[in-house]
Chains A and B, each alone.
Chain A
Amino acid sequence: MRRLVTLLFALLCLSATAAMAQIEVRAPGQQSIAVANTELLPLSGLPLPAVARELREVVSHDLDMSGLFRQLDPASFLDDARRPGLTSTQVDFNQWSLLGTEILIKGGYRMQGGRLLVEFRLYDVVHRRLLTGRSYSGTQEDVRTMAHKFVDQILKSVTGKEGPFSSRIAYIDNRTGHKELYLMDSDGANSLRLTDHRSIVLNPDFSPNGREVTFTSYRPGNPDLYRKDLGTGQEARLSSQKGLNISARYRPDGREIALTQSGSGNPELMLLGTDGSKRRRLTNHWGIDVDPSWSPAGDRIVFVSDRQGNPHLFVMDLLSGQTRRISGNGKYYATPAWSPEGDRIAFTRQEGSVFDIYTIKPDGTDERRLTFGPGNKEHPRWSPDARFLVYSSDQHGGRGIYIMRADGTGIQRISSSGGQSQHPAWSRQR
């Protein structure tokens, strides 16, 4: 009897191991990438600690904002962190894998003829290989841009899609006493005033090539549409119909502009050429039609209309002219923005007395609320890679520009205090 039982046990065990043919792992145990962000070192000449620190800080900020990484404590770095390590043979990967590092940022800098040369390297510690390397040259003013550009490349290495950090954000600010157009980096640094209309400037939009910005200005005594060339600074008035010339949005191919004009006596969506010439009328309805936003393919437009009573979101197919409401049972929807990926539309919706940001699929399903808490969050716009949303909020008193990840995490104010900032628009990559 005993022997039989032991035999059975043995058999059972054998069977069990045979059945171990498959192991299912249903989620990664580590849901962020361990990155070592070392400080860049002087390749020749004197060390520039301020430059090195700023490069590291900007990289660190962008890495955090992406949500992809957990940054290892520099205090734990071993002596390899003190070698520039510009080739994979120079890097002691053992040290880094000992710390649990998965990817490693190294590099160096030097001054050459008054210009700053910066070399960045990104290594895969597990595979012990170089993932990407970039060198940048510029003045010391360009340090932040260099760091942003490299993090854009890091994201590309890790996800296949470039990051948005070197792109810029246009917005409206009233710190001069008038609402004027401003431009700043994606982290709020290097803010710069672009207009001097001393009137009211509103609602900017970047051309897809990033070289021009359109906006509405009251300077002529009527809300007219302007275009500004960011390179030359030249301004041109594109549309000066009697009444409104507002909420202009470039078609993603850059060839046309959709906007709201009320020259006909009623606010309607119109299509203009980029020279301001009238192409065609998109809506013809007694209701208010405003805030168009293009699908990435440029074949559909989402907009706000009160044709069914309250302001709701509608999607219009430009070919067929068919228009369909996509918003649900809320009472006030506003400022839709179609994701550059095409899969979702961000918008604001009023619940109680407060506007919050939501996203929805273009077919009107799967509505998700992204922001909560007090204060109005308005005018969401997507980053060019669709990873982030920029918006304005008065949640901390005084309206400022904020960014967050597309899932509503990582909320961060980027505009400085001192003025009321609103109407952000995110440029394409530069």
Chain B
Amino acid sequence: MKRGGIRISMQVLLMVVFAAMLAVGCAKKPAATTAAGEDQAGAMQTAQGVEEMGAGETGVGESMIGDESAMSTPQAVSSLERIYFNYDRYDLSPEAQAILVNNANYLKTNSDLKVRIEGYCDERGSDEYNLALGERRALATQKYLESMGIAADRLSVISYGEEMPLDPAQTEAAFAMNRRAEFKVMP
């Protein structure tokens, strides 16, 4: 990241470690929670595929193809997995990058999809600053997907800042859940 000069205090270090642990966790477990819990039971079949994909990570291709049949349903958006960020940061962690590789492949195989990337923050910090931060997260995500060969005109961004938390609780775990970028299929 640009800001190499960021002071590595104990706190930041701990936070990074913590967030990294969470992100690793997210790569597996949240796939189940998000798919089943958030995107409703109707997407169960698709969700199965997603879960495998999330867990396997390398076996992406097969999972994707297996999902092809379910592709026409709108719930297919859940195949684009959300990514998480560290506090007050918008750089992509290795875990996030891995997820984005999957998402890019998915977008390649579904070349008619247009996607809006939504940037979010946890509730700490000022609302306006967080709107800007959320936009940066969305933009960083967009840039990465473009670098993976996704056409720029298929991707748009919007920031919701801290306006729409996934988990409104005021805990570190909730905060980590809320610092995210999501993908919405545009009509």
Direct A–B contact in complex, judged by CB atoms less than 8 Å apart = yes
- Chain A residues within CB distance 8 Å of chain B: 179, 200, 202-203, 218, 221-223, 243-244, 246-247, 260, 262, 265, 267, 286, 288, 290-291, 304, 306, 309-311, 332, 334-335, 348, 350, 353, 378-379, 422-423
Pick from B3, B5, B126, B136: contact of A334, CB under 8 Å:
B126
Task: List chain B residues, Cβ under 8 A from A288.
Answer: 129, 132-133, 136
Task: List chain B residues, Cβ under 8 A from A348.
Answer: 126
4 further interface pairs, Cβ-Cβ under 8 Å (given A203-B127, A291-B128, A379-B127): A203-B128, A286-B2, A304-B126, A348-B126
A335 touches B159 (CB 8 A): no
Closest chain A CB from B187 CB (angstroms) = 11
- Chain B residues within CB distance 8 Å of chain A: 2-3, 5-7, 88, 124-129, 131-133, 135-136, 139, 157-160, 163-164
With CB as the reference atom, state the residue of chain A lying closest to B5. A309
A265 touches B139 (CB 8 A): yes
Tell me the bound Cα distance from A243 to B132 in angstroms. Answer: 9
In this complex, the member of B3, B126, B131, B135 whose beta carbon has the largest number of chain A beta carbons within 10 angstroms is B126
A223 touches B131 (CB 8 A): yes
In this complex, the member of B2, B131, B159 whose beta carbon has the largest number of chain A beta carbons within 10 angstroms is B131
A350 touches B125 (CB 8 A): yes
Closest chain B CB from A343 CB (angstroms) = 23
Task: List chain A residues, Cβ under 8 A from B160.
Answer: 200, 218
With CB as the reference atom, state the residue of chain A lying closest to B159. A244
A335 touches B131 (CB 8 A): no
Task: List chain B residues, Cβ under 8 A from A350.
Answer: 124-125
Tell me the bound Cα distance from A423 to B162 in angstroms. Answer: 13
Tell me the bound Cα distance from A244 to B2 in angstroms. Answer: 22
Tell me the bound Cα distance from A262 to B7 in angstroms. Answer: 27
Tell me the bound Cα distance from A297 to B91 in angstroms. Answer: 40
With CB as the reference atom, state the residue of chain A lying closest to B3. A309
Task: List chain A residues, Cβ under 8 A from B124.
Answer: 350, 353
10 contacts between A and B (CB under 8 A): A179-B163, A202-B163, A243-B159, A260-B128, A262-B135, A290-B132, A304-B129, A309-B3, A332-B125, A378-B127
With CB as the reference atom, state the residue of chain B lying closest to A243. B135
B129 touches A423 (CB 8 A): no
Task: List chain B residues, Cβ under 8 A from A334.
Answer: 125-126, 128-129
Closest chain B CB from A397 CB (angstroms) = 10
Pick from B6, B129, B131, B135: contact of A311, CB under 8 Å:
B129
Tell me the bound Cα distance from A35 to B16 in angstroms. Answer: 59
